[in-house]
Structure 1
Amino acid sequence: MPEITAQTEGAIRILTISNEPKRNAFEGTMAADFLGHLNDADGDAAVRVVVVTGAGDIAFSSGHDLNEIASGAHAATNLGEAPFLRPRDMTKPVIAAVNGHCYAAALILALSCDLRVASVNATFGSPGARLGMLPEGGQIGRLPRLMSSARALELMLTANPLPADEAYRTGFVNRLAGQGEALQEALVLARAIAKNAPSVVAAIKAGVILGEREGIDAAGAYEATVARRLEKAADAREGVSAFLEKRAPVFRGGA
């Protein structure tokens, strides 16, 4: 049954795109359900990191079901690419555990996530030019920032897939994992993040995005303002106390 499943490990919410017969393509209500799960995770104070992956070890996702695009069913939902862009606007970091093929809307999703872990058998594809469709969802504007501009351009112009090892060398992928191990490697990364002050983690994400959108001067002004506020907050008091007392901090994200 095509579905999005959710499970929680400590402070980490794991969302799995499950439609293996179609390489985890989004069909039916899957995109809307996925957006709902992301919204739930972002609104849950107990969740500090979200990890998104695909079922099995062949595909992360092949994107939208092309049959639904051809029939007009996809357009009828009025969702557009909102579910795949949502990680970018979340306050919490989102990690893509790319366990195989990652094409089209799934590439938009991986691009919108804050960090990417890929298995060695993963491939990234932007097939728009081959389908007569413009690559969107940040592919033209943001993808060249996350790998070389020339490599991003080649990926989109040729519509040829980018192997995981090359994606790692370009900096698009943060970590490489063995086949079937992308989720576990992503969880190692997620646990390291979840140990840190959630207020600061959220502020770092927001500041980096602000810098990308408005430039280095805006990011500098953000640092100066937000740093003064956070150094007076509960997370800072707990962090300093824990360091002096030689114990692990217990962050709660309070003011």
Structure 2
Amino acid sequence: MNSSSADEAELVGAVARSLGVSVRTLHHWDTLGLASPSGRTSGKYRVYLPADVARLRRVLLFRELGIPLGEIPVLLNAGAVERREELERRRAELIEKICHLRKLAEDVDKILAADSSGVLLAEAEQLDVFGAGWDPSWSVAARRRWGDSAQWAEYAERSSKRKADDWRGIVESEQEITATLAQAMRDGTSPGSDVANALAERHRTAMSEYFHCTHSMHVLVARRYVTEPGFIESYDRAESGLAAWTKQIIDANALAKGIDPETAVWE
């Protein structure tokens, strides 16, 4: 190494710091023959010239691109055309990954927003979808009550993907099952009968649009139908006494599935 080269040389520690890697990494690359120093000090410390550092930067770039160490020597020694083709291919993969990560970040933003507000629709849209009797503050109240539960997390994840038409379909399905329940009650359908159990299952399926609802959880949800004025009013608007009757068929269906309504738990 001549005096001019010596003036430009850097010890391994300084090179490692400038590249953001460990000295051990540079030692490993040297052992593999990927990028070796041009000399050593009298104390046997590795000394790197600018050309050595440039090669190290190429190795680092290839590693950050995900190229295995075993393939890097081929690229380092390849012609310009081959290196460019490989870099272009890796760049295309990066762009694809960046687009995926951006989409993932957008999805997470929506989940966080849904976790806070429940429904990702403007208030005017909510009233249009859920009806004039809907109060947008109900979602906020629901979050205060169940925001720490796994079910709210599931609800937020599903809500983050739903647009107005998706919610409208859910509302229409709920209205249809409520009307069917009311007609079955008027027809004198007995709780525990095959018809009533099938209706209870349809109701549970509709409930599962919000979160996975087991038979035991279904029982606990139904208890609110006869204790909370909002639910009583909503069901009894379709048919007087429907809230209580719906609870009865849900309890009977759960019992048929081996769940004791008296000891049902939130799963």
Q: TM-score range by the shorter chain?
A: under 0.3
Using the size of structure 2 for normalisation, the TM-score is 0.21
Using the size of structure 1 for normalisation, the TM-score is 0.22
More helix by share: 2
More strand by share: 1
